[in-house]
Amino acid sequence: MPELPEVETVRRGLEPSMTGAVITQADVNRPDLRWPFPELMAERISGARVLQLRRRSKYILADLDTGETLLIHLGMSGRMTVSGDPLGQFVHEHPALIKHDHVVFHMENGARVAFNDPRRFGAMDLLDTGTAEAHPLLVKIGPEPLGNDFHEAYLVSALKTKNTPIKTALLDQSLIAGLGNIYVCEALFRAGIHPATKAKDLKPSAIVPLVPIIRDILLEAIEAGGSSLKDFRQAGGELGYFQHSFRVYGREGGACVTPECTSVVERITQSGRSTFFCPSCQS
DNA sequence: ATAGGCACCTGGTGGC
DNA sequence: TGCCACCAGGTGCCTA
């Protein structure tokens, strides 16, 4: 679930119940996720007011009025559930899921916000707000794809020396922030670039279109994230998000969506991860 | 410095 | 029904 658009959707979903509100109590139900929680995390969070919720790459940052910022990463399977919201209700009705509520925030407005993460690849940390960007987990992250520092000249320059498949290069968070397996596959399909092409072999004329394509895909997915939350409310079960709009991801064996194209979507493994592409449209 | 592979964890699915 | 192999949205760390 959590690539940049999903994390942004989660961040927006948390704002009504968290931004400006005091965390009256934080329950920390285990000592760690991917790493041990910071010292006395529950005490340091409890009683704090959330000033704002930010996002950097796939991280959510909650600035507190204590001068500290709560850093949250959802890993592969992390969710944030809010009591009363469809997802929160869904988890609440399934005991097998509730057991993965590792950290629970009780807000002054009555909301119960839970960090739920079965695989526990997620993480939380507390850092000084003033130096948040210098945190080891954040400092090496590349430009935000929706920000001003990500542009054609940057991407051409960044890829010029990369002796690695373009698929792998775009997954490198130090090169560009926030892309994951799904959106890289989708971007390369729209750009007509074969995922195994060495990044440094791509001509600038092939790289330049990637910039607006990446931006468009992320923006569309964020937009769909918002609307699919409504779908979820009605359907009451499955996560919708952008998945109905995938053109290649998860579509191995399916017909290519390009009009006139008679090829079938293929799946290969790159760096131990599945890549989906159309062998005709991507070369 | 850079690229590749492994490890961390649980749950779902499909085949026998 | 049970068991097993394989798959999954991420990424830090170790190795060549």
User: Mean pLDDT throughout A143-153?
Assistant: 98
CATH of the domain at A77: 3.20.190.10
A134 and A11 housed in the same domain? yes
A178 and A67 housed in the same domain? no
Query: What pLDDT, on the 0 to 100 scale, is given for residue A230?
Result: 41
Active site residue A273: yes
A100 and A53 housed in the same domain? yes
Query: Measured in whole angstroms, how far is the alpha carbon of residue A53 from the centre of its chain?
Result: 15
In the predicted structure, residue A98 carries a pLDDT above the cut 50: yes
A226 and A104 housed in the same domain? no
A212 and A236 housed in the same domain? yes
How many other CB atoms sit within 10 Å of the CB of residue A217?
24
Q: What is the pLDDT of residues A40-62, one digit of tens each?
A: 999 999 999 999 999 999 999 99
**Domain span at A270:** 152-277
Q: Is A44 annotated as a binding residue?
A: no
Flag whether A147 is in a domain.
Answer: no
Do the Cβ atoms of A199 and A274 come closer than 8 Å? Answer: no
Q: What's the number of CA atoms in the CB half-sphere (13 Å) around residue A146? A: 16
Flag whether A254 is in a domain.
Answer: yes
Please give the single-letter amino acid code of residue A226: G
- % of residues, chain A, pLDDT over 90: 82
Residues 6+ apart with CB under 8 A from A146: A215, A218, A219
Q: Is A244 annotated as a binding residue?
A: no
Of A109, A139, A169, which residue is a domain's last?
A: A139
In the predicted structure, residue A225 carries a pLDDT above the cut 80: no
Residues composing chain A: 283
Both tokens of residue A22? 């005091």
Both tokens of residue A180? 């994951």
Do the Cβ atoms of A73 and A135 come closer than 8 Å? Answer: no
A118 and A238 housed in the same domain? no
Bridge partners for A241 per DSSP: none
Structural domains in chain A (count): 2
User: Mean pLDDT throughout A259-271?
Assistant: 96
State the pLDDT confidence band at A223, using cuts at 50, 70 and 90. Answer: confident
d(CA A125, CA A135): 10
Kindly state the helix (H) or strand (E) to which residue A105 belongs, with its residue range. Answer: strand A101-107
Active site residue A2: yes
Q: What is the pLDDT of residues A179-189, one digit of tens each?
A: 999 999 999 99
- Choice among A9-18, A56-65, A192-201, A239-248 with the minimum mean pLDDT: A239-248
Please give the single-letter amino acid code of residue A259: P
Query: What pLDDT, on the 0 to 100 scale, is given for residue A236?
Result: 33
CATH of the domain at A172: 1.10.8.50
A187 and A243 housed in the same domain? yes
d(CA A270, CA A272): 5
A104 and A69 housed in the same domain? yes
A104 and A11 housed in the same domain? yes
In the predicted structure, residue A154 carries a pLDDT above the cut 60: yes
Do the Cβ atoms of A130 and A124 come closer than 8 Å? Answer: no
Active site residue A58: yes
Closest CA to A242 of A267, A207, A218, A271: A218
Flag whether A172 is in a domain.
Answer: yes
Query: What pLDDT, on the 0 to 100 scale, is given for residue A142?
Result: 97
Closest residue (CA to C1') to nucleotide C7 in the complex: A274
Convert A37-70 to b/e letters by CB count within 10 Å (16 or more is b): beeebeebbbebebeebebbbbbbbbbbeeebbb
CB-strand contact A119/C, under 7 Å: yes
Bridge partners for A269 per DSSP: A274
Average per-residue pLDDT for chain A: 91
Convert A185-204 to b/e letters by CB count within 10 Å (16 or more is b): bbbbbbbbbbbebebeebee
In the predicted structure, residue A12 carries a pLDDT above the cut 70: yes
CB-strand contact A101/C, under 7 Å: no
Which residues numbered 243-262 in chain A sit less than 7 A from strand C, measured from CB? 243
CB-strand contact A34/B, under 7 Å: yes
Reported pTM: 0.94
Q: Is A100 annotated as a binding residue?
A: yes
Do the Cβ atoms of A274 and A264 come closer than 8 Å? Answer: no
Order of strands across the sheet that contains A68-73: A50-56, A59-64, A68-73, A123-128
